[in-house]
Structure 1
Amino acid sequence: MEILLQEWVSVKGFVLFTIGLLAAIIGVLFGAAGFILMPSMLLVGIPIHTTVAVNKFATGISALSNVVSFVIKGHLSLEKYASLIMVSSLGGVFGAFLAILLSEKIMNVVACISLIFAFIIVLCSNKLIIKGTKETQEQPINKLIPFAISIYDGGFGPGSALMNITYFLKKQYIYLKAVELTRIISFSSCTGAFLYYYFTGIVNWGIAIPVAIGSIVGSFLGLKIIPFIKTKWIQVILPIIFFFLIVQVVSDLIK
């Protein structure tokens, strides 16, 4: 325990906290926490599977803090979305299982294909953001989509929340509601995936804890910023983030 405390209060611990903080803010606002978290952790020399496991832990804790806040404020009903939580959790477990079996290069290929597909959807959506949509206009959710995204999230992750946000926006949910549902899915898929990684013994608590604490702080800061985000910013920023995520994954493939 003493060794862990020394790791948490070290310069490396502060760097990991900062990475978690920035990643969570970006994740809450635009669903792209992995764009900051994954490459940053790899940059400081953390192995890929440990990076993914820590990412699931930190993102799951961050999303849980948001979900608890949403439920307390009466914005979300866990009973209403129980089936979505279950489906996402199973997707996360399955994704983690595949990640352990697959090589890093194959994981990057899957990530690249998924991101390109989602990027095309965003570009083809002329009415992606509908601020004034009423709840009665929301379209039914096809749970196969969140399940598929959760598999990707459990095994790799970057861009998964952004894919969910895009999906809910296309189903005529307002942006804030899309973020809330995405945080539920992120919590569920990350929890399922993390538990699988934990029982395989690849979780490093010296890394996971400072990143998670930073993620919790960042998630609350992100929620405070959301009301000030203008629709036109979202319409421009979502495709840009997708583009850079694709560039990041492609660059990993050609190394």
Structure 2
Amino acid sequence: MENLLLEWLSFDGLILFGIGLLAAVVGVMFGAAGFVLLPSLLLVGIPIHATVAINKFATGISSFSTVIVLTMKKRVQLKKMIPFMLIAAVGGISGAFLATRLSEQTMNIVACIVLIVMFIFVLKSNKKAVVNEQPEIEEKTTLIAPFLIGIYDGGLGTGSALLNITYFLKKQFSYVMAAEMTRFVMFASCTTAFLFYLFYGIVNWGVAVPVAVGSIVGSQIGLKIIPYLKGKWIEILLPIIFFLLIVQVIADLLF
């Protein structure tokens, strides 16, 4: 325990804290925490499966902190989110199970295909669905997409929050509401996926804790910033974020 504490308080621990903070800010605002977190952890030599496990832990913790805040402020009704959270939780643990049986290359190929499909999906989305600033519209929603996204999130997760945001946008929720609802879903899928990785024995606590602490701070910063995002910025930035994620995954495949 003493060795872990020294590791957390070291310069490397401070860098990991900064990585977690930046990733969480990007994650809350644009659903692309993996764009910062995954390549950063891989760059410092963390294996892909351990990196995914750390990502699930950090994202799950930061999402939980925002879930508490949003619930207390009654921004999102927990009762309405429970079905989404339950199906995402099942998807998360299913994805983690599949990931431990796939190679790094196969995981990256799956990520690339999913992100390209969603990139095209976003480009074809009408402007109203992407930049709607009005209160959310109540309509019948299905749980198939959250389940599939949960599987993807548990197995790899690059851009999974962005997939959830896009799903809620297509259901005519405002961007702010879509991002806030996504935190509930991400908490569920990340938590069950992380518990599976923990059981599997591939969690590096020396890395996971400082990243998670940074993620908690970053998620609160992101919540403060997101109401100031303008619709036209979102319309431009979402496709750009998707494109950069695709480039990242393709780079992992080639190099």
Same structural fold, with TM-score higher than 0.5 when normalized by the shorter chain: yes
Cα RMSD over matched residues? 1.0
Aligned residue runs from structure 1 range 209-220, under 5 A: 209-220=209-220
Q: 1:130, 1:173 within 8 Å by CA — same for their partners in 2?
A: no
Letter in 2 for 1:165: I
| Sequence identity percentage | 60
Alignment partners' CA distance in 1, 2:46 and 2:254: 20
1:36 is matched with 36
1:112 is matched with 112
1:133 is matched with 134
Query: How many equivalent residue pairs?
Result: 254
2:14 is matched with 14
1:254 is matched with 254
2:161 is matched with 161
Once the two structures are superposed, residues 173-211 of structure 1 have per-residue CA deviations (whole angstroms, 9 ceiling, x without a partner) of: 011110111001110000010000001111111111000
Give the TM-score, by structure 2 length.
Answer: 0.97
Q: How far off its partner does 1:11 sit?
A: 1.1
Letter in 1 for 2:222: G
Alignment partners' CA distance in 2, 1:140 and 1:165: 17
Alignment partners' CA distance in 2, 1:168 and 1:251: 29
Aligned residue runs from structure 1 range 16-165, under 5 A: 16-127=16-127, 128-135=129-136, 137-165=137-165
Q: 1:14, 1:210 within 8 Å by CA — same for their partners in 2?
A: yes
Q: 1:130, 1:172 within 8 Å by CA — same for their partners in 2?
A: no
The alpha-carbon distance between structure 1 residues 132 and 47, as it changes in their structure 2 partners (threshold 3 A), is closer
1:188 is matched with 188
Alignment partners' CA distance in 2, 1:105 and 1:45: 17
Alignment partners' CA distance in 2, 1:117 and 1:49: 24
Q: How far off its partner does 1:130 sit?
A: 3.9
Once the two structures are superposed, residues 85-110 of structure 1 have per-residue CA deviations (whole angstroms, 9 ceiling, x without a partner) of: 11000100000000100000000010
Alignment partners' CA distance in 1, 2:141 and 2:216: 28
Q: How far off its partner does 1:139 sit?
A: 3.0
Moved over 6 A (4+): none
Alignment partners' CA distance in 1, 2:133 and 2:36: 31
Alignment partners' CA distance in 2, 1:229 and 1:73: 20
Letter in 1 for 2:130: I
Q: How far off its partner does 1:134 sit?
A: 3.5
Letter in 2 for 1:251: A
Consecutive unaligned residues in structure 2, runs of 5 or more: none
Instruction: Give the stretch that moved more between structures: 26-35 or 125-134.
Output: 125-134
Consecutive unaligned residues in structure 1, runs of 5 or more: none
